[in-house]
Amino acid sequence: MATLAERLAAWVAGLEPRDVPPAETERARLGLLDTLGLVVVAHATDAARIGREVAFANAAAGAATLLGGTARIAPGWAAFAHGIAAHCRDFDDTFTDSVVHPGSVVVPVALAVGEAVAAPAPALEAAIAVGYEVAGRLGAAAGRKFHANGFHATGTVGPFAAAATAAKLQGLDAAALVDAWGLAGSMAGGLMEFLRDGTWSKWLHPGWAAHGGILAVDLAKRGFRGPASVIEGDHGLFAAFLGRGEADTVAIGDGLGRQWKGGAAHFKHYPCAHVIQPYLDAALALAAEHGLAVDAIEAVTCWLAPWAIPIVAEPRAPKLAPATELDAIASLPFQVAAALTDGRVDLATLTPASRARPAVRALAAKVACVADPTLGHAFDGRIALGLRSGRTLEALVSAAPAAAERVRQKFLANAAALGEREARAVADSLASGRPYMIATILTLMNEALRRRRG
């Protein structure tokens, strides 16, 4: 009987760009656009800068462009740096069932390997769709159990998605992809201990997963062997990280090519832990609908799934007075308070001055987070605003997919460093149905960055 890796690899190897449904192709283009904007907006951060420095220090000359760099480098290291940058503002897309961030792993691989092999747009988009599909299926099998066991699911699932993307672009056959996945399994990891002090290991995980997936493919295509039972085996991905029998692996290989799961990843509208996003949507909608001034709000109650409490609500002290950007990103009380105070949440919300505002901290202290065991599907929840008048306004919250135009506007804001004309040119190049070469887009972006920064 074929292993799960063998079944998945046969599908990946046999897939042609024409086999990808139009909706998945469009989702791949939007994921590409979104991630490019995230890399640009993160360029000046210390985390992205260090990622670039390490990439250049370790990489040989190669065929992959590093945004903000001056020379092409080896694809694995370009993907490493771009993966860190794409995730370090916590503004990247997410699967709601597993909390895997696929775009910051898959797209950096597609950029690097796609440029190296001069992949045409249909092949690039098919490889992105494949990476998302692998991430979605493996993530769904675990649900949120990786996080519950202290592992960042993006770091555990990511190397498999990265290897699938790289293998598709390089034309690996099914047997070689099975070996690559067998090796990628030994590169899976990512501890959640960053939750304790707001440090940066979280941001490393997508970059390391992207790098590891490319490395696994490079080894496999030269004949380096990996275990075919890496997914469901007694010492495989799920058994090792979760314990035997803890993952629903049966459905991983079902419906391949008929039931696409990769497109279920949701874009972020705000730089926050994704479970927070629906509460911000609901809070802003309630305030707008009722014309609320912030000083009319006496109390806020957010009901959320128990698994989310230790991520976005506890320990309470750093959630009310976030000392770091990551603290603010992962604080439901702070983010809701900022949204109600400012009528928005964006990257400016995360600055030290914004985080320290007494009025926002005072309102954050009035945000109660209540665990509700009936919740936990697609980031569902409930929010109530208690007003000084004695009235209470309530709304249900749930994750909702973003419209393509909202993703485009997010890109234009994030890519402002390119210049308005250049940012629009990139967005137009990736508009549905237009042909493009990723090397041309990366060159345009790099030239724009160099001009703007002198």
pLDDT in tens, 213-242: 999 999 999 999 999 999 999 999 999 999
- CA separation for the pair 166, 136 (Å, rounded): 17
Of the candidates 402, 432, 352, the one whose C-alpha atom is nearest the C-alpha of residue 94 is: 402
| Lowest mean pLDDT across 29-33, 216-220, 377-381, 389-393 | 377-381
Across the chain, mean pLDDT equals 95
Of the candidates 277, 9, 363, 2, the one whose C-alpha atom is nearest the C-alpha of residue 163 is: 9
pLDDT in tens, 85-132: 999 999 999 999 999 999 999 999 999 999 999 999 999 999 999 999
- Quick one: pLDDT band at residue 431, thresholds 50, 70, 90? confident
Residues 6 or more apart whose CB falls under 8 angstroms from that of 114 comprise 123, 124, 127, 169, 438
221, 173 Cβ separation under 8 angstroms: no
Domains, the chain, ranges and CATH?
A: 4-264 (1.10.4100.10), 274-397 (3.30.1330.120)
**With 0-12 CB in 10 A as exposed, 13-18 as middle and 19+ as buried, what is 50?**
middle
pLDDT in tens, 145-197: 999 999 999 999 999 999 999 999 999 999 999 999 999 999 999 999 998 88
Kindly report the CA angle at 94 between 339 and 432, in degrees rounded to 5?
Answer: 100
- CA separation for the pair 241, 186 (Å, rounded): 11
Please check the confidence at residue 454 and state whether its pLDDT lies above 70: no
- Phi, then psi, of 225 in degrees rounded to 5: -95, 150
Kindly report the CA angle at 35 between 360 and 139, in degrees rounded to 5?
Answer: 90
Across the range 360-384, mean pLDDT stands at 92
**With 0-12 CB in 10 A as exposed, 13-18 as middle and 19+ as buried, what is 46?**
exposed
Residues 6 or more apart whose CB falls under 8 angstroms from that of 359 comprise 294, 341
- Quick one: pLDDT band at residue 452, thresholds 50, 70, 90? confident
Q: β-strand 367-371 against 297-304: which pairing, if any? A: parallel
Cα-atom radius of gyration of the chain, to the nearest Å?
21
Residue 315: cis peptide before it, omega within 30 degrees of 0: yes
Cβ atoms within 10 Å of 139's Cβ, excluding its own: 30
Run of H or E residues at 368: strand 367-371
Residues 6 or more apart whose CB falls under 8 angstroms from that of 245 comprise none
Across the range 257-268, mean pLDDT stands at 94
Please check the confidence at residue 369 and state whether its pLDDT lies above 70: yes
Please check the confidence at residue 207 and state whether its pLDDT lies above 80: yes
User: Which tokens is 100 given?
Assistant: 């895997």
- CA separation for the pair 111, 40 (Å, rounded): 14
For residue 414, which amino acid is it?
N
pLDDT in tens, 316-352: 999 999 999 989 999 999 999 999 999 999 999 999 9
Specify the pLDDT at position 403. Answer: 84
**Burial call 154-173: b when 16+ CB within 10 Å, e when fewer:** bbbbbbbbbbbbbbbbbebe
- CA separation for the pair 413, 228 (Å, rounded): 44
For residue 240, which amino acid is it?
A
Please check the confidence at residue 390 and state whether its pLDDT lies above 80: yes
| Lowest mean pLDDT across 139-143, 379-383, 417-421, 424-428 | 379-383
Specify the pLDDT at position 113. Answer: 98
Please check the confidence at residue 432 and state whether its pLDDT lies above 90: no
